[in-house]
Chains A and B, each alone.
Chain A
Amino acid sequence: MFEPQIMSFLCKWCTSAAADLAGTSRLHYAPNPVNLRVMCSSRVDPQHILYAFKEGADGVFIGGCHPGDCHYVEGNYKTLRRVTLFKRMLDDLGIDSRRLRLEWISAAEGKKYAQVMDEFTEQIRGLGPLQLNENALMKEEEKDE
């Protein structure tokens, strides 16, 4: 069975804490997502997302605080703006924008985190592996320093 690779960017104050809570609650979910903890979801650059797809991610997940709750006041609004626009670009680039998911998960929502991870994993499994045009990707050696 196809096992999707999922790159997960979680904000320290909310979603990463929710993931920790899912752990302390011993909730079980798919092992596909691998988490990179950032201070704020607004740290995530569209470059990082594209890079993840290039490096083998079939799906990319970003978890941030609910609007109004951002530890850094408005970071999540910036994330929302970026992701909204970027999804359009993804479609234009030939990457199904459903492979990128932005979700607001608060530190208290451990259960929601586990559910979303399972849901997203299944959704990506359904979409199948991301087929990037290998020829379009530059080879390692041809990249400039």
Chain B
Amino acid sequence: MKGQKKTKRIGVFVCHCGVNIAGVVDVEKVAKTLTDYPGVAFSTNYIYVCSDPGQQMIIDTIKEKKLDGIIVAACSPTLHEKTFQEAARLAGLNPYQIEIANIREQDSWVHVDKDKATKKAVKIIKAHVEKAVRNESLEPIKVEVHRRALVIGGGISGIQAALDIADHGYEVLLVEKNPSIGGKMIQLSETFPTLDCSQCIMTPKMVEASRHPRIKLLTYHEVESVSGFVGNFKVRIKKKPRYVDAVLCNLCAECEKVCPQIVPDEFNMGLSFRKAIYMPFPQAVPGTYTLDAEHCLGLNPVRCGKCKDVCEKKAISYEMQETIFEEEVGAIVVATGYDLYSMQALGEYGGEKIPDVINGLEFERILSASGPTAGIIRRPSDGKVPKSVVFVQCSGSRDTEKHNPYCSKICCMYTAKHAMLYKHRVPDGQAIVFYIDVRTGGKAFDEFYQRTIEEDKVLYIRGKVSKIFKDGDKVVVWGVDTLTGKKVEVEADMVVLAMAMVKAEGVGDLLRKLKIQTDIHGWLAEAHPKLRPVESLNAGFYLAGCAHGPKDIPEAVAQASAAAAKVGDLFAQKELSHEPTVVPVDEDKCSGCAICITMCPYQARTLDTERGVVVVNEILCEGCGACAAACPSGAAQQRNQTDDQIFSMVTAMMKG
């Protein structure tokens, strides 16, 4: 069914492009042929339409001949579409009334038969005329932007992104589910390759984040739900009850002394204990105690109450409730971090049942001066200083059979660091590393690893470990040295497994609420693996840190700053401007079948259940047209590429 043709006055400008087009296509003949075509009010040919005089000629002609649409038959639109749109605008014509007919790259440059090339050019131009007479004038879709960002996750990536966005001049909400910010980095002892004390370099950033006038630090908070779209998100945030007033608390620690409940300390990876009322670590930000209701003897009714009794500042209140409040933000940075693969999954390495087989984070706590052993390396079972330690790389990584197929990137470097630090503190001890490869791609990384071998005399054996088990006092490690072909059995005092990095526990629920995509391993999916690494395909969401995939601290910080820059891009715009060639819904024709909703990769379409029609959020629609092709009733039509336009173009191309 052909639509109603508006009586438009279309101008056709056929470019010679020197001899590029005119050498093959008879441009004069083409221009002349088009003069009589329905809808064409003016048709001419010109030597170089993209030149200044060429453009001026077009502008003048539009005004003189009162044209309301033009075809520029020339080179590929990728070259000069914007040029001519701008020229048209100057002539008072809506830029979406410009059509570029490609008669060079897709005609004169690829065909030898002049007659056929000319006939083809005519067909192409006629088709564009058919489209042009049906084109609507369109305005870019404009949306306001709330210049406020939400950063989810208070590890190094979240903190860095928050600081950068705040330094740009925008307000940031930094939400962290734990009582303090710091993430995993604050648990580390020293960082490679500089052996910087992790807490020393991180605490200044943590303090800066807490003091920054534009950062609202929301620790012990969780994101409940997110609705809206880029520039206009509504976020519901849950404030968990700390039962301690963070402002009043003066860290006297009297409450901790009297608390009767003993809980394994998560910060120390279960290697020591804390009380139910606790501060996760001395440099916690905010500096306050928190009462862990799950492990408290009881708050309702109050079964103990000792902590409240001894609190001078009256900071403790058992009546605190969970509250939920709503905030408006324009951009969301997801920096939810990672966790380590569970040792229980590696039955052949003891399945977490052997106390002296530990993972990298546990070893970090043992190494840490503020850790459970005050920085002296002792093994968990009996506190003895281990004289022989085996480090097993790739535990649960690079395993396509049962575990994680990917490489966790940081383990080669931190294992070298662990082995080096062990040898520094236990010089007469033996450190053996079992490896598949040693990957040291960063700056000064390989030199660091070479030091471990040459200066610290750590023994590197190339081979996978097949079994780890306890035999009396020792931990037996069965491996192989592939370079000599011999089996290797080590009776070690302690084993440190470089466990794979996996997605953060419980993050799946949050990501579902945010409706952003992850890959099959649960890592956040970037918009393009090469060219857009810090944005999600969902407009307004940015990715930073290990939530996106295994990476080390320098990369995480770089990515966080990049994400902040992208947020800055978004906020720098007065208003968001979006291509209007989207696919709206003709509500008269829409039956609410919702097939189009399943076609959309951007979640731009939703079903209005009350009215039984589909509604499109035009700012999210990218204009691919997949829904339009699927719509059974033709209610979904792409602006300026409707079915009607396509049909008429096909007719012109086949019959013209």
Binding site for B on A (CB under 8 A): 5, 7, 17, 19-20, 22-24, 26-31, 34-40, 42-45, 47-48, 51-52, 55-57, 71-75, 78, 82, 114, 143-145
Contacts and interface: CB of A to CB of B under 8 A. Distances in A.
B643 interface: yes
Given A19-B105, A51-B647, A74-B601, A42 B653 contact: no
Given A28-B110, A43-B641, A73-B601, A55 B650 contact: yes
Contacts of A55: 650-651, 654-655
Given A23-B110, A47-B643, A144 B1 contact: yes
A70 B265 CA distance: 48
Given A34-B124, A144-B1, A26 B654 contact: no
B104 interface: yes
B625 A31 contact: no
B110 A72 contact: no
Nearest to A48: B646
A40 B123 CA distance: 22
Nearest to B529: A68
Interface residues of B, number: 43
25 contacts: A7-B650, A17-B78, A23-B105, A23-B110, A24-B105, A24-B109, A28-B110, A29-B111, A31-B107, A31-B111, A35-B102, A35-B106, A36-B649, A36-B650, A36-B653, A37-B77, A43-B624, A43-B629, A48-B650, A55-B654, A73-B537, A73-B601, A75-B626, A78-B626, A78-B629
Given A5-B654, A43-B638, A72-B622, A29 B110 contact: yes
Interface string B605-633: 00000000000000000111110111000
B120 interface: yes
Contacts of A75: 601, 624, 626
B641 A20 contact: no
A40 B1 contact: no
A144 B2 CA distance: 10
B443 to A, nearest CB: 32
Given A39-B624, A39-B625, A43-B625, A23 B106 contact: yes
Interface string B113-151: 100110010011001000000000000000000000000
A20 B622 CA distance: 23
Contacts of B649: 36
Interface of B: 1, 76-78, 102, 104-107, 109-113, 116-117, 120, 123-124, 127, 537, 581, 599, 601, 622-626, 628-630, 638, 641, 643, 646-647, 649-651, 653-655
A20 B116 contact: no
A26 B19 CA distance: 14
Given A28-B110, A48-B646, A82 B105 contact: no
Nearest to B117: A31
A92 B629 CA distance: 22
Given A20-B106, A22-B110, A72-B622, A34 B78 contact: no
A24 B649 CA distance: 25
A16 to B, nearest CB: 8
Contacts of A31: 107, 110-111, 113, 116-117, 120
A43 B639 CA distance: 12
Query: 6 closest Cβ contacts across the A-B interface?
Result: A23-B105, A43-B625, A42-B626, A72-B624, A73-B601, A56-B654
Contacts of B77: 37
B625 A26 contact: no
B109 A23 contact: yes
Contact of B629 (A36, A82, A143): A82
A43 to B, nearest CB: 3
A82 B1 CA distance: 23
A140 B105 CA distance: 35
B654 A44 contact: no
B105 A40 contact: no
Contacts of A24: 105, 109
Contact of A26 (B110, B630, B655): B110
Given A35-B106, A42-B629, A48-B650, A23 B624 contact: no
Nearest to B108: A23
A121 to B, nearest CB: 12
B19 to A, nearest CB: 13
Contacts of B651: 55
B112 to A, nearest CB: 6
Contact of A42 (B113, B124, B624): B624
Contacts of B643: 45, 47-48
Nearest to A17: B78
A50 to B, nearest CB: 10
Contacts of B625: 38-40, 42-43
A44 to B, nearest CB: 6
Contact of A43 (B601, B626, B653): B626
A72 B626 CA distance: 9
A75 B597 CA distance: 14
A72 B480 CA distance: 48
Nearest to A36: B649
B601 A34 contact: no
A57 B647 CA distance: 13
Contacts of A29: 110-111
B581 to A, nearest CB: 8
Contacts of A28: 110-112
A42 B498 CA distance: 45
A43 B1 contact: no
Given A36-B649, A75-B624, A26 B113 contact: no
Contacts of B622: 72
B641 A39 contact: yes
Contacts of B104: 23
B624 A34 contact: no
Contacts of B123: 34
Contacts of B127: 34, 36
Given A31-B111, A73-B601, A45 B650 contact: no
Contacts of B116: 31
Contact of A36 (B76, B120, B638, B646): B646
B352 to A, nearest CB: 38
Nearest to A144: B1
A48 B649 CA distance: 10
A26 B649 CA distance: 26
A143 B628 contact: no
A72 B581 CA distance: 14
Nearest to B116: A31
A62 to B, nearest CB: 11
A23 B124 CA distance: 16
B341 to A, nearest CB: 27
